[in-house]
Structure 1
Amino acid sequence: MAALALLAGTAFADSAFAGEAISVCYNYGCLVQSEVVFSKQDLTRVGELLGDARTPEHERALIGVAVGWLLGIAGKQTPIFADRAGNFADDGVEGRMDCIDHSTTTTRLLRLFERHRWLHFHRVLEPARRTRGLIFDHYSAQIEEITPPPMCTSANEAPTVSDDAMSRRYVVDSWYVDNGQPVPVLARQRWQDGEGPDGD
C-alpha cells in the first residue's frame, strides 16, 4: 500500500510539471487573451539557458533570448505568430500586439522565470511607462538588478536588494521585434529618454 501511494505521489509530481500555462494578450490593449501551454521540455530548456548566467549582463542577454523563444512557441498556439515589430507592419492583422499586449505578456513570462527561481541577478517589477507629448504612452516589462547573497545554500533563500541595485532598472521590450526574435533588454533610463535598441 505504501509503495502504491509513493507511486501515485511520483506520478502526481510528474504531471504537475508536465507543463505550465500563461495567458498571452493580442489585438491591442489586451482585447483578446489566449492560454498558451509550455511543455516540460520547453521549461527545462529555459531553466538550463538561464542557469548559465554568470553575471547580471549575461543574464539580461539570456532573458532576451528566453522571452523571444517562448513568444515564438506561443505563436505556434495563437495568432501572435503574425505580430511584427512596432505597430505598423502588422496593422489590422489578427494576432498583432501593441505595447500593452507585449508588456503584459512579457511580464507574465518573467514572473514564470521568477516562480521557478531561474533569475539570480534580477527581480521582476511592474511594467514601466514612458510618455512622449500629451498622448503617446509606451509600456514595457521591467526588471531590476539585484545582488545575490554571497553563499546561497538553500533554494528558499531570496536574493537581497542593495541600495545601489535599486537604481539598476531595465526594460524587456518585445514590442521592438517580430514574434520569436530575441528581445532587447535596455537600460531603463535610456529607454525612458526615448531610445530604442538601435539608439533611435
Structure 2
Amino acid sequence: MMLRRVVFLVFAVTILTGCAGGRDQPIAERIYTLHPEGGPTPESFVICSGHGCRDRHTVSLSPGQWQSVKAVFATPPANAAEERELIRVAVSRLERLAGAATGTDADLAGTYSNMWMQRQLDCADETVNTTTYIRLLMADRLVTKHRLGGRLHKGNIIDYLPHMAPSIIDQETGTQWAVDSWYLDHGEPPEIVTAQVWHTDYETWGSTGKPARP
C-alpha cells in the first residue's frame, strides 16, 4: 500500500511539474527571458525540452537554412487565412531544423506515455518553442497579419489532463487562434484553430482524427 501511494505521488508530481507546470508564471517569463539581448534571431535562439523547459538548447541557423524558412513566404499571403497556413509550414520547418541541431527531433505527440524519453517535449516546451519560432517570423516581417496572443490553458486533471498552447491574434478581426504542436509528432505542421474550438475535445477537430498519446 505504501509503495502504491509513493508511485501515485511521484506520478502526480510529474504531471503537475510537466505539462501542467506550464501554467506558472516562470514559464510565461521564460518565453522572453531566454533571449535577454532583445529577442531571438536566426543566428542565435533557444529552445526548450525536458518538461517545463528544464533543458535548454541554443540553435544557430545558417543563412541558407533561414532562407529556406523565408522561402515559405515567397508568395505573400492574400489574407490572414493564407498567412496561417504559411505559419504552419514555417513552424514545421523551424522545428525540424532546431530538432536536428539539438537532438529533440525524436519528440512524439503527447507527453505522459513518452515522458521517460530523452528530450521529449511537453506542452510547456512546445509553447515556448512555438512562440520563439513565431517571434522569429514576425521579427523578419514574414508574418504581418497576426500578432502574438497569450497562452491558452485547458484541463484540470479531473476531466482531462492540463494542457496549454500559444496563440496568435488576427490583426483585422481580433480572433484568437491556437498554434498547437503538442498533438503531433516532431516536425509536423501544428494545428491552428480558433481558441473556442481548441477548448473542445481534440477528437472533434484534430487533423489526425485521434487524441495525442495521453
Output the TM-score relative to the length of structure 2. Answer: 0.70
Unaligned stretches of 5+ residues in structure 1? 1-17, 148-164
CA contact 2:42–2:136 (8 Å) conserved in 1 = no
Partner residue, 1:137 = 162
Correspondent of 2:65 among 35, 39, 42: 42
Partner residue, 2:200 = 193
Output the TM-score relative to the length of structure 1. Answer: 0.75
1:109 aligned onto 2:129: no
Unaligned stretches of 5+ residues in structure 2? 1-40
* Partner amino acid, structure 1, of 2:194: A
Structure 2 counterparts to residues 116-127 of structure 1, below 5 A: 116-127=140-151
Alpha-carbon distance between aligned partners in 2 of 1:146 and 1:51, rounded to the nearest angstrom = 21
1:89 offset after TM fit, Å? 5.3
1:21 offset after TM fit, Å? 1.7
Q: Deviations over 1:11-30 (max 9, x none)?
A: xxxxxxx9422111101111
> RMSD of the TM alignment (CA)?
2.0
Alpha-carbon distance between aligned partners in 2 of 1:57 and 1:176, rounded to the nearest angstrom = 21
CA contact 1:107–1:126 (8 Å) conserved in 2 = no
1:83 offset after TM fit, Å? 0.2
Partner residue, 1:176 = 183
CA contact 2:166–2:178 (8 Å) conserved in 1 = yes
Aligned with 1:20: secondary structure? coil
1:43 offset after TM fit, Å? 1.9
Structure 2 counterparts to residues 1-200 of structure 1, below 5 A: 19-52=42-75, 53-88=77-112, 90-134=114-158, 136-147=161-172, 165-166=173-174, 168-195=175-202, 196-198=205-207
Aligned with 1:126: secondary structure? coil
Alpha-carbon distance between aligned partners in 2 of 1:46 and 1:124, rounded to the nearest angstrom = 19
Aligned with 1:176: secondary structure? coil
% same residue? 27
| Change in CA separation of 1:42 and 1:54 when aligned onto 2, cut-off 3 Å | farther
Partner residue, 1:10 = none
Look at both structures and tell me which one has the larger radius of gyration over its CA atoms.
1
